[in-house]
């Protein structure tokens, strides 16, 4: 089963605000390995396979630097199809000297962490087979352990890095939020996700179709953290893909039923979670 295609609800694209388009383009092409799908004077769509847009970067005219202790992006996560792909990009990072912020074994996955030049967090990971994930009733067992980098590098020892491979998808997104109770209601009763893991009172992980998580939510920037300024570097929005028009209609009705605002712009429904994280709702194309 694929966890990133219908009937599962999944994150398909992340839209970021940056301070310098050219600086970000250089980073996302040369360091991360994405390709330009389309470019204007102040924005660019980026892809791994030349067909599906994974990331949109835009420079607002009045952009201001990212501020700490606000809601918004913790990281977006690019999921690679094979463990050898993760090995190749780790070797690439080591050869170029680009600093990593972490490297973890989460039991369900193996992950590398870094940030773009504006401080936007990025995870690059591969999943272990879903048949190997351990479940404790409705909760998946995850942990944060040191990544066995030597074992990983041995996986791709004889292979060279040539950018992100076809088959790379937006695996999940992890967000800073102001609190968890209303947030959980919004994402479960409104958007229809299921809680699959909790990290005490500070974080929860939700998914569709029994994935280990499509969305992570945490209060690590502080309970009551404010929403960032509209022109601040960081998350502009992210896109959720729903199975079909019927699913989309039901989701919009559920959101409005719990008091969430939903607007329609050019056939796209847009909502915000209780912490001001904007979400674009679409159906599979």
Query: pLDDT value at position 16?
Result: 98
Contact assessment for residue 225 and residue 219, using Cβ atoms and an 8 Å cutoff: yes
Comparison of pLDDT for 160 and 192, the residue scoring more: 192
pLDDT at residue 118 above 90? yes
pLDDT of residue 267: 82
Q: Which of 188, 215, 241, 284 is nearest to 10 (CA)?
A: 241
At residue 156 the predicted structure's pLDDT band, cuts being 50, 70 and 90, is confident
- CATH number of domain containing 115: 3.10.180.10
Residue 154 lies in a domain: yes
Cα–Cα distance for residue pair 5/284, rounded to 1 Å = 8
**175-216: per-residue pLDDT in tens?**
999 999 999 999 999 999 999 999 989 999 999 999 999 999
Radius of gyration of the chain (CA): 18
Residue 32 and residue 213: Cα distance in Å, rounded?
22
Domain housing 223: 10-283
156-161 contacts, C-beta under 8 A, 24 or more apart: 156/84, 156/85, 156/86, 156/87, 156/88, 156/91, 157/87, 159/84, 159/87, 159/88, 160/88, 161/33, 161/88, 161/89, 161/91, 161/92
Q: What average pLDDT is seen over the chain?
A: 96
Residue 84 lies in a domain: yes
Residue 283 confidence (pLDDT) above 90: yes
Within a domain: residue 2? no
191 within a domain of the structure (yes/no): yes
pLDDT digits (tens, 9 = 90+) for 201-210: 999 999 999 9
Q: Is 11 left (phi over 0), alpha (psi -120 to 50) or beta?
A: beta
State how far the Cα of 22 lies from the Cα of 68, in Å rounded to an integer: 24
Using 50, 70 and 90 to split pLDDT, how confident is the model at 218? very high
Establish if 29 belongs to a structural domain.
yes
Cα atoms found within 13 Å of the Cα of residue 247, Cβ hemisphere only: 18
- The answer to whether residue 46 is domain-embedded is yes
Digit-coded pLDDT (tens) for 40-68: 999 999 999 999 999 999 999 999 999 88
Answer yes or no: is 3 within a domain: no
Indicate the number of domains in the chain: 1
**pLDDT of 159 higher than 90:** no
Q: List CB contacts of 235: < 8 A, sequence separation 6 or more.
A: 14, 15, 16, 17, 72, 73, 120, 175, 277, 278
Which tens digits make up the pLDDT trace of 69-117? 999 999 999 999 999 999 999 999 999 999 999 999 999 999 999 999 9
| pLDDT for residue 1 is more than 60 | no
Left, alpha or beta for 242 (phi > 0: left; psi -120 to 50: alpha)? beta
* Chain segment 227-282, per-residue pLDDT in tens: 999 999 999 999 999 999 999 999 999 999 999 999 999 889 999 999 999 999 99
For the segment 156-168, the average pLDDT, to the nearest whole number, is 91
pLDDT, residue 158, reads 82
Q: Are 193 and 215 in contact (CB under 8 A)?
A: yes
Amino acid 76: pLDDT: 98
Task: Give domain status of residue 173, yes or no.
Answer: yes
Segment 79-88, tens digit of pLDDT: 999 999 999 9
């Amino acid at each position: 089963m694929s966890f990133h295609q219908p009937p599962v609800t999944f994150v398909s694209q992340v839209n970021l605000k940056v301070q310098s388009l050219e600086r970000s383009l250089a980073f996302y092409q040369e360091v991360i390995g994405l390709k330009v799908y389309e470019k204007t004077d102040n924005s660019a769509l980026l892809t791994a396979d030349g067909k599906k847009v994974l990331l949109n970067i835009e420079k607002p005219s009045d952009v201001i630097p990212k501020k700490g202790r606000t809601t918004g992006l913790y990281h977006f996560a690019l999921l690679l199809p094979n463990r050898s792909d993760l090995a190749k990009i780790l070797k690439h990072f080591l050869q170029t000297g680009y600093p990593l912020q972490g490297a973890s074994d989460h039991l369900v996955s193996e992950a590398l962490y870094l940030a773009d030049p504006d401080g936007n967090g990025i995870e690059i990971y591969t999943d272990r087979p879903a048949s190997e994930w351990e479940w404790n009733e409705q909760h998946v067992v995850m942990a944060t352990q040191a990544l066995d980098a030597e074992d990983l590098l041995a996986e791709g020892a004889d292979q060279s890095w040539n950018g992100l491979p076809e088959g790379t998808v937006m695996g999940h997104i992890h967000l800073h939020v102001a609190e968890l109770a209303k947030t959980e209601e919004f994402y479960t009763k409104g958007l229809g996700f299921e809680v699959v893991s909790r990290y005490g009172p500070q974080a929860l992980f939700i998914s569709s179709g029994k994935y280990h998580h499509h969305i992570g939510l945490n209060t690590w920037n502080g309970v009551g953290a404010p929403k960032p300024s509209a022109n601040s570097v960081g998350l502009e929005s992210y896109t959720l893909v729903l199975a079909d028009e019927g699913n989309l209609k039901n989701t919009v009705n559920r959101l409005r039923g719990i008091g969430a605002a939903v607007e329609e712009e050019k056939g796209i429904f847009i909502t915000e979670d209780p912490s001001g994280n904007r979400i674009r709702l679409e159906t599979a194309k």
